[in-house]
Amino acid sequence: MSRLLTTSHRRLGVLYLYLSLAAVTTGTLLSLLMRIHRVWPDAPLPFYGVLKPEDYLALVTMHGTLMIFFVLTVAPQSGFANLVMPAQIGARQMAFPRLNAAAFWLAVAAFLILIAAFFVPQGAPISGWTSYPPLSAIPAAGPGQGAGMDLWLASIGVFCLSAWLSAVNMLVTILSERCPGMTWSRLPMTVWAWLVTSILTLLVFTVLLAAILLLFSDRHFGSSFFVPVGDLINGRVVGRGDGSPLLWLHLFWFFGHPEVYIAVLPGMGLATSLFANFARRGVRGYRVMAAMLVAIGLLGLVVWGHHMFVSGMNPYAGTAFALTTMAIAVPSTVEVLGWLTLLSRGGLRLQTPMLFALGFLSFFIAGGLTGPILAQPALDAYLHNTFFVVAHFHLVMAMAGVFSIFAGIYYWYPLLTGRLMNEALGKLHFWISVIAAYGTFLPMHLSGLAGEPRHYDRLTGPATSFASIVANERGITFSALLLAGAQLLFLWNLIHSARRGRPAPQNPWQATTLEWAPENQNFRVNCGPYEYEIASGQEKFLPQWEAASKQE
Partner 1 sequence: MPATFTRHPVEIERKDTGIGGKPPLDRRPTGGGGDGDNWENRPSGRRGPRELLTRYRLLVIFALAGDLMFFVALVSAFFVRQSAGHFDARENYISDWHPLAVPPILWLNTAVLLLSSVTAEIARRQLFREIDVMEEWLGLGRPAVKRAAPWLVATLALGALFLAGQWIAWKQLVAAGFTYSSPDPSSHFFYLITGTHGLHLLLGILALAGALIGLFTLRRIELRQIVVDCTAWYWHTMGIFWLFLFGLLVFFQ
For residue 170, give the nearest of 190, 185, 154 by alpha carbon: 190
Interaction residues for partner 1, span 85-104 (CB under 8 A): 90-93, 95-96, 99
176 lies in the binding site for partner 1 (CB under 8 A): yes
Name the strand (E) or helix (H) holding 502.
strand 502-503
506 lies in the binding site for partner 1 (CB under 8 A): yes
507 lies in the binding site for partner 1 (CB under 8 A): yes
Interaction residues for partner 1, span 151-170 (CB under 8 A): 164-165, 167-169
217 lies in the binding site for partner 1 (CB under 8 A): yes
We find the least distance from the C-beta atom of residue 174 to partner 1, in angstroms, to be 9
How many Cβ atoms sit within 10 Å of the Cβ of residue 499? 8
For residue 492, give the nearest of 437, 442, 428 by alpha carbon: 428
Which residue number, 210 or 369, has a Cβ lying nearer to partner 1? 210
Name the strand (E) or helix (H) holding 420.
strand 419-420
We find the least distance from the C-beta atom of residue 283 to partner 1, in angstroms, to be 16
Span interacting with partner 1, options 227-235, 268-276, 362-370, 372-380, rule CB under 8 A: 227-235
Pairing of strands 236-237, 232-233: antiparallel
We find the least distance from the C-beta atom of residue 117 to partner 1, in angstroms, to be 25
Interaction residues for partner 1, span 382-441 (CB under 8 A): none
Alpha-carbon distance of 197 to 234, in angstroms, equals 42
Which residue number, 39 or 207, has a Cβ lying nearer to partner 1? 207
Span interacting with partner 1, options 198-206, 287-295, 459-467, 482-490, rule CB under 8 A: 198-206
Q: Which residues sit opposite 223 in a β-bridge?
A: none
Sign of the CA dihedral 81, 87, 90, 95?
Answer: positive
We find the least distance from the C-beta atom of residue 236 to partner 1, in angstroms, to be 17
Pairing of strands 419-420, 236-237: unpaired
* Helix, coil or strand: residue 90: coil
* Helix, coil or strand: residue 350: coil
Which residue number, 243 or 359, has a Cβ lying nearer to partner 1? 243
Span interacting with partner 1, options 105-113, 257-265, 475-483, 537-545, rule CB under 8 A: 537-545
Which residue number, 251 or 486, has a Cβ lying nearer to partner 1? 251
Burial of 217 (0-12, 13-18, 19+ CB in 10 A): middle
Q: Please answer whether residues 101 and 6 qualify as being in contact, where contact means their C-beta atoms are separated by less than 8 angstroms.
A: yes
Span interacting with partner 1, options 60-68, 218-226, 280-288, 371-379, rule CB under 8 A: 218-226
Span interacting with partner 1, options 53-61, 410-418, 455-463, 517-525, rule CB under 8 A: 517-525
Question: Which amino acid is residue 75, in one-letter code?
Answer: A
Site string for partner 1, 237-276 (x = CB under 8 A): ---xxxxx-xx--xx--x----------------------
Phi/psi at 71 (5° precision): -110, -60
Interaction residues for partner 1, span 327-386 (CB under 8 A): none
Which residue number, 223 or 385, has a Cβ lying nearer to partner 1? 223
When binding is defined by CB under 8 A, the residue of 66, 211, 296, 402 that contacts partner 1 is 211
314 lies in the binding site for partner 1 (CB under 8 A): no
We find the least distance from the C-beta atom of residue 139 to partner 1, in angstroms, to be 16
When binding is defined by CB under 8 A, the residue of 43, 45, 213, 350 that contacts partner 1 is 213
171 lies in the binding site for partner 1 (CB under 8 A): yes
Which residue number, 31 or 224, has a Cβ lying nearer to partner 1? 224
**3-state DSSP helix/strand/coil % of the chain, to nearest 5:** 65, 5, 30
* Helix, coil or strand: residue 290: helix
Alpha-carbon distance of 259 to 297, in angstroms, equals 10
We find the least distance from the C-beta atom of residue 464 to partner 1, in angstroms, to be 32
Which residue number, 214 or 322, has a Cβ lying nearer to partner 1? 214
180 lies in the binding site for partner 1 (CB under 8 A): yes
Burial of 305 (0-12, 13-18, 19+ CB in 10 A): buried
We find the least distance from the C-beta atom of residue 135 to partner 1, in angstroms, to be 19
The angle subtended at Cα 179 by Cα 272 and Cα 192, nearest 5°, is 25
Q: DSSP character for 466? A: -
Name the strand (E) or helix (H) holding 2.
none
Which ranges constitute the DSSP H helices of 177-309? 189-220, 245-279, 286-300
We find the least distance from the C-beta atom of residue 177 to partner 1, in angstroms, to be 6
What is the total count of residues that contact partner 1 (CB under 8 A)? 74
Q: Please answer whether residues 447 and 383 qualify as being in contact, where contact means their C-beta atoms are separated by less than 8 angstroms.
A: no
183 lies in the binding site for partner 1 (CB under 8 A): yes
We find the least distance from the C-beta atom of residue 295 to partner 1, in angstroms, to be 20
Span interacting with partner 1, options 271-279, 413-421, 480-488, 539-547, rule CB under 8 A: 539-547
203 lies in the binding site for partner 1 (CB under 8 A): yes
547 lies in the binding site for partner 1 (CB under 8 A): yes
Which residue number, 95 or 391, has a Cβ lying nearer to partner 1? 95
Alpha-carbon distance of 49 to 29, in angstroms, equals 17
Which residue number, 92 or 287, has a Cβ lying nearer to partner 1? 92
Alpha-carbon distance of 301 to 199, in angstroms, equals 11
Q: Please answer whether residues 9 and 94 qualify as being in contact, where contact means their C-beta atoms are separated by less than 8 angstroms.
A: yes
